[in-house]
Amino acid sequence: MKTLRVEQPIHAAGLLLSAFFLLSGAQAAGQDNWPTWRGPEGTGVARSAVATSWSDEENVGWRTAIPGRGFSTPIVWDNRIYLTTAVPLEEAAEPESEGPGRGRGGFGRGGPRGSATVNTAFLILCLDLNTGKEIWRKKACEAKPHEGYHRTYGSHASVSPVTDGSKVICSFGSQGIYCYDMDGELLWERDPDVELQMRRQFGEGANPALHSGIYVHVFDHEADSFMLALDSKTGEVKWQHERDEPSTWSTPLVTEHDGAWQVIVAGTTRTRSYELFGGEELWQCGGIGVNAIPTVVRHDDLVFVMSGYREPNLQAIRLGGKGDITDADPSPIAWSSNRGTSYTASPVLHEGRYYCVQDGGKISCFDAASGKAFYLEERLPRGTDLKASPLAAGGVLYVATEEGDVHMIALGEEFKVLGTNSLTDQFFVSSPIAVDGKLLLRGQGDLFCIVESGSDGD
């Protein structure tokens, strides 16, 4: 492994204090923000309860059409929504399907063969949280992508933005990384100098992490994979680390253990931890199998990595090891499971319980500390298919589906379906988020704000 390092002084203590005061100030002001695709703690948990009943006519605070095609999950800061999309600038011939498939709301279901590529405008939009009205939009770039995406579940705008409250950074993968201030002024852009070759043209979609002034993005694909760390203020490279990994889509976890800040990344070959400020590898552990997608989360001194493809695997890895800990004695794997694991959706970690949903419509709940299954592979209603990650809010787990349904499951040790709400002709791949009592659902071409009648913003 080689690590490219740019020798610039990093005042870690100052950066941490700045981040602490920034977040503390937001909380003191009573703001409820969603700065990354999995929320303020990276666990898919909202700080406020949201509506439990809606339809096309009921409790829809607003509905805003979003141009183009994009499955990135929106983020929210200070009553502003930020999201990305990709708008084709010319007609594309429909590529030949791999199988008979079935249409769904205009999205062909013909297997994983990539879409046709055409000249495309890559956009970031800023909307008002209370009204859905557009505040600004910027075109990051215009390009013809070198490769397509999964015809049903992919897009050229599947990576969610991240923010620290002073800037918004959005990635279009091979098309570049772009940083704007909160009012849409371009601060910097960075060409990662790669044309990602994703497995079976499933499409690019690995979400980044932003912590203490360091922006971290994983570029795992079928050629020369690497992880890139940038200075979030300037876009300058802090470090770059080569990775012996095929295509992955997992979001890294930035966390601290024994005084060391580290970035933990799941992979097919290995789960690896890197020093946040310098990029040195701290430890590695035997991998979880092909197509690592779910994000890494932490409970106490355990970090959880998961895959759900042909050889599903969920590992709870104990922090504290150094070097290659795969065969260490005692084992670093506190517990594991090859049942109930998610393929595409990331988990929810709430009050010591680890929830995961499977693409085919099953849900499981584990005790995060021990691995005990409170319930395992319970069936969700209506022959559910899903790709979106679940959301926990106000005692309810919201599970959005490809059918436009959102199932509500009781949080806790007992499996209980509380109900299902539906929106007509919708297709949820983007994950639901919740801020200030508002539930945001990004569907097929529209963004919905669900809010109880009479609530603020209605």
**Domains of the chain: which residue ranges?**
3-450
User: Which residue's entry shows tokens 């397509």?
Assistant: 148
Whether the predicted pLDDT of 313 surpasses 60: yes
pLDDT of residue 109: 40
User: Is the separation of the CB atoms in 158 and 171 below 8 Å?
Assistant: no
Rounded CA separation 340/433 (Å):
23
Q: If you write DSSP's letter for every residue of 419-441 in order, what string do you get?
A: EEEE-TT----SPPEEETTEEEE
Mean of the per-residue pLDDT values of the chain: 87
Rounded CA separation 192/174 (Å):
7
Rounded CA separation 195/212 (Å):
28
Whether the predicted pLDDT of 384 surpasses 50: yes
Closest CA to 39 of 251, 212, 190, 201: 251
Closest CA to 342 of 308, 304, 311, 374: 308
What pairs with residue 348 in β-bridges?
A: 355
pLDDT band at residue 150 under the 50/70/90 scheme: confident
Q: pLDDT for 291-308, tens place per residue?
A: 889 999 999 999 999 998
Whether the predicted pLDDT of 422 surpasses 60: yes
Compute the average pLDDT of residues 45-50. 96
Write the DSSP symbol of residue 28. Answer: H
Compute the average pLDDT of residues 362-371. 98
What tokens appear for 157 in the block?
A: 């705008």
User: Is the separation of the CB atoms in 287 and 276 below 8 Å?
Assistant: no
With H, G, I as helix, E, B as strand and everything else as coil, classify residue 16.
helix
pLDDT of residue 198: 82
Q: pLDDT for 199-250, tens place per residue?
A: 888 888 889 999 999 999 999 888 999 999 999 999 999 999 999 998 888 8
Q: pLDDT for 261-283, tens place per residue?
A: 999 999 999 999 999 999 999 99
Q: How many other CB atoms are there within 10 angstroms of residue 180's CB atom?
A: 23
Q: How far is CA 212 from the centre of its chain?
A: 19
What percentage of the chain reaches a pLDDT higher than 70?
Answer: 87
Whether the predicted pLDDT of 44 surpasses 50: yes
* Lowest mean pLDDT, pick from 93-102, 195-204, 411-420: 93-102
The CATH T-level fold of domain 3-450 is: Methylamine Dehydrogenase; Chain H (2.130.10)
* Lowest mean pLDDT, pick from 107-116, 173-182, 339-348: 107-116
pLDDT of residue 97: 42
Q: What is the phi/psi pair of residue 301, to 5°?
A: -100, 20
Rounded CA separation 45/278 (Å):
30
- Is the omega angle on the peptide bond into residue 74 within 30 degrees of 0, that is, cis? no
Q: If you write DSSP's letter for every residue of 141-194 in order, what string do you get?
A: EEE--SS--BTTT--S--SPPEE-SSEEEEE-GGG-EEEEETTS-EEEEE----
User: Which residue's entry shows tokens 């949080």?
Assistant: 411
pLDDT of residue 457: 45
User: Is the separation of the CB atoms in 306 and 294 below 8 Å?
Assistant: yes
pLDDT of residue 93: 63
**25 Cβ partners below 8 Å, 6+ apart?**
none
Closest CA to 341 of 325, 360, 318: 360
Rounded CA separation 266/438 (Å):
32
Query: How much is the pTM?
Result: 0.89
Euclidean distance between the first and the last CA atom of the chain, given in angstroms as a whole number = 54
Q: How many helices (H) and strands (E) does the chain have?
A: 1, 34
Whether the predicted pLDDT of 386 surpasses 90: yes
pLDDT of residue 18: 36
pLDDT of residue 21: 31
pLDDT of residue 114: 60
Does residue 184 or residue 104 have the better pLDDT? 184
Whether the predicted pLDDT of 406 surpasses 80: yes
What tokens appear for 182 in the block?
A: 């909160």
Does residue 457 or residue 318 have the better pLDDT? 318
CB-count exposure of residue 300 (10 Å: 0-12, 13-18, 19+): exposed
pLDDT band at residue 96 under the 50/70/90 scheme: very low
Q: pLDDT for 111-122, tens place per residue?
A: 445 667 899 999
What tokens appear for 136 in the block?
A: 């600004």
User: Which residue's entry shows tokens 């399907």?
Assistant: 97
